[in-house]
Amino acid sequence: MKSIKDVNFSGRKVILRVDFNVPVDENRNITDDTRIRESLPTIKKLLSDGASIILVAHFGRPKNGFEDAFSLKPVAQRLSELIHQPVQFTQELLGPNVEAMAKALKPKEVMLLENIRFYPGETKGDVALAEQLSKLGDCYVNDAFGTAHREHSSTATIARFFPKDKYFGLLMENEIKNLNYLLDKPEHPFTAIIGGSKISTKIDILNNLIPKVDNMIIIGGMRYTFTKALGGKIGNSIHEDDKLETAKELMKKMDEMGVKYYMPIDCIVVDRFANDANRKIVKGDEIPDGWEAVDCGPKSSELFREVILKSKTILWNGPAGVFEMPNFAKGTNSIAKDVAEACGHGSYAAVGGGDSVAAVQKMQLAERMSYVSTGGGAMLEYLEGKTLPGIKAILD
């Protein structure tokens, strides 16, 4: 695994790639510091060893070099509070001044470089940028699972300059172990709950999971492509006409492999896309013209609950409806409660994807889940069976 657990970093300068891409308000105050907190175990382990740490991170998607709105300065301040010591911050990324700062860094001191994406070469996997960055330290640790699916200079390319001194951080190691458990040795019955607005974004994960699961619960907007493929009425509900045959093929594959699949048997529909719209409950495949489905109904929630509570392993990725609108959050919230209850009875549950994670955090249920992934896109690609560049770079 190449874990930092097995190494003492005393007296070493560690380049640590983290995911500090946190949400901020209009005044650039951090509104959720979860991603910073997730890397604290790795940071504290390295500091307790007596290492000095050079943190590399990105924030947002700047397009024109340095932009104050994308500076990591607020992150440096928050990290300093969390680790109870000063964090040196440089608004330069590379060059003589930064190299001098890194060289002068004493054991148990921390510095954070400015947003690596201010350099256009970062997202292109630029070798020269990675080499320059590598000169700041004498070993490399990647703890940024949320960016592991990107072949960027600081997440993948840099690792080649540390052929025998590159490691996974504790967060990264935990993510890989949990995902491997889901893919390689889940306890049965194994239920996957897959949602989202479009089937096109979930084809690969569905195909990869079908041979592994016993039950598949299909929710969210993507459900209506399946409904239309089955000849049901979907009104104005979101769907993809060019994926109707794909939906049929997926259902055929599940039938052939003995996977039981479930979709909402009732749903909440609205006459316009707004929280205060007129709404009613109809059968899942009898949505009237002019109406649009925005959540699953109470009978569906009862059906899903029964399946979830009988499961030993659960994977949940994607909401049941437009949960951002309070009137249409019941289906998603119901799943969150049921999954947490299953965990309380000894089941293993993994939750991933921005919306699903946001839902369990909003309901303060994250602590009751077995595992909540920090990487939406990275988790999806890993579950699709893809090799993630950030992981491959450490293992090579």
DSSP per residue over 181-195, as a string?
A: HHHH-PPSSEEEEE-
Q: What is the mean pLDDT of residues 251-279?
A: 96
Percentage of the chain exceeding pLDDT 70: 99
- What average pLDDT does this structure show over 157-176? 95
CATH topology of domain 4-172: Rossmann fold (3.40.50)
- Give SS3 for 236: coil
The segment with the largest mean pLDDT, out of 3-7, 197-201, 296-300, is 296-300
List, by residue number, the catalytic residues: 35, 198, 354, 377
- pLDDT bracket for residue 185 (50, 70, 90): confident
**pTM flag (> 0.85):** yes
Start and end residues for every CATH 3.40.50.1260 domain found in the chain: 4-172, 186-383
Q: What is the mean pLDDT of residues 19-43?
A: 89
Where are any strands of DSSP class E within the chain? 13-17, 52-56, 87-90, 110-113, 139-142, 166-168, 190-194, 215-218, 233-234, 260-262, 266-270, 279-283, 286-287, 292-296, 313-317, 348-352, 371-372
Return the pLDDT at 91: 79
For residues 361 and 289, the model is more confident at 289
Sorting pLDDT into bands at 50, 70 and 90, what band is 201? confident
Residue 66 or 42, more confident: 42
Higher-confidence residue of 52 and 203: namely 52
Specify the pLDDT at position 385. 85
For position 199, what pLDDT does the model report? 84
Question: Hey, which bits of 235-309 come out as E strands?
Answer: 260-262, 266-270, 279-283, 286-287, 292-296
What is the per-residue pLDDT for 33? Answer: 87
Both tokens of 387, joined, read: 């090799």
Amino acid at 117: R
| CA 183 vs CA 28, 186, 304, 344: distances in Å | 39, 7, 22, 22
| pLDDT (average), residues 331-339 | 95
Residue 61 pLDDT greater than 90, yes or no: no
**pLDDT value of residue 290:** 95
The per-residue pLDDT for 62 is 86
Does the structure show a pLDDT above 90 at 362? no
199, 226 Cβ separation under 8 angstroms: yes
Look over the chain and give the mean of its residue pLDDT values, rounded to a whole number. 93
Q: Name the pLDDT band for 375 (thresholds 50, 70, 90).
A: confident
Tokens 């790639």 locate to 17
pLDDT in tens, 240-261: 999 999 999 999 999 999 999 9
**CATH number assigned to the domain with residue range 186-383, chosen from the 4 options 3.40.50.1260, 3.40.50.300, 3.40.50.2020, 3.30.565.10:** 3.40.50.1260
| Residue 293 three-state SS | strand
Lowest mean pLDDT among 50-64, 100-114, 266-280, 363-377: 363-377
- CA separation for the pair 150, 147 (Å, rounded): 5
pLDDT digits 0-9 by tens, 282-309: 999 999 999 999 999 999 999 999 999 9
**Predicted confidence band at 383 (pLDDT cuts at 50, 70, 90)?**
confident
Q: Which residue has the higher pLDDT, 29 or 47?
A: 47
Q: What is the pLDDT of residues 127-139, one digit of tens each?
A: 999 999 999 999 9
